[in-house]
Chain A
Amino acid sequence: AQTVTQSQPEMSVQEAETVTLSCTYDTSESDYYLFWYKQPPSRQMILVIRQEAYKQQNATENRFSVNFQKAAKSFSLKISDSQLGDAAMYFCAYETFVQGAQKLVFGQGTRLTINP
């Protein structure tokens, strides 16, 4: 079974600084997808970034980028120029697609605090 591990329950960073959130996963599959979702105090789950395992190039969305290391099964999220609005729980997720059946497996989350 696939598992996702986020080893940092909490992280904090100064506003405008850069922070990296860690995620590792375990799978025997070769084709899969990885995501970072953000959950602010409103509890809404917001997609931050997505990475296809067959792509070697790391995904980037504005201030958010990932470091995807397939061999090491590592998928970290880097947030540059941190803003107060980035404060949230961040969840790493792994998704498989088998004959139309899809599901997300989530890590336990990292709570990110932004210090002004």
Chain B
Amino acid sequence: DSGVTQTPKHLITATGQRVTLRCSPRSGDLSVYWYQQSLDQGLQFLIQYYNGEERAKGNILERFSAQQFPDLHSELNLSSLELGDSALYFCASSVGGLGYEDTQYFGPGTRLTVL
């Protein structure tokens, strides 16, 4: 158990809908990262937050948005869902803000199925 929690574990929804994925980082970690794992694109970085502020952005679609709250949990919002958004969405966390790289620990993931 990495200490990173994600809810829900599974999500099934229809095209055009909106969903919210939730992540709680390890105790003491200030950075949260979101990754998407799909069959055709592999594992891709979406976005990083550090202590409530966006720090880095990857291949995140405009239909997707994220935020990190004062209690440090993070939410990834996916809207106008398409079949191709079906994937495993991972959250990771690290201490962050150390002035150097630190290791990211991953949550168990949320499997999103868009029908």
Contact = CB atoms under 8 A, between A and B. Distances in A.
Interface of B: 2, 31, 33, 35, 42-45, 48, 50, 55-56, 58, 88, 90, 92, 94, 96-97, 100-106, 108-109, 111
A63 to B, nearest CB: 20
Instruction: Give 8 closest A-B pairs by Cβ, nearest first.
Output: A101-B56, A45-B106, A97-B101, A106-B43, A103-B45, A101-B55, A33-B101, A108-B42
Contacts of A16: none
Main secondary structure of the interface of B (DSSP, over half): strand
Interface residues on A, range: 20 to 34
20 contacts: A35-B103, A43-B111, A45-B90, A45-B106, A46-B2, A46-B106, A47-B105, A50-B103, A91-B43, A97-B100, A100-B55, A101-B48, A102-B96, A103-B45, A103-B48, A103-B58, A104-B43, A104-B104, A106-B42, A109-B42
B103 A47 contact: yes
Given A43-B88, A50-B103, A105 B97 contact: no
A28 interface: no
A100 B109 contact: no
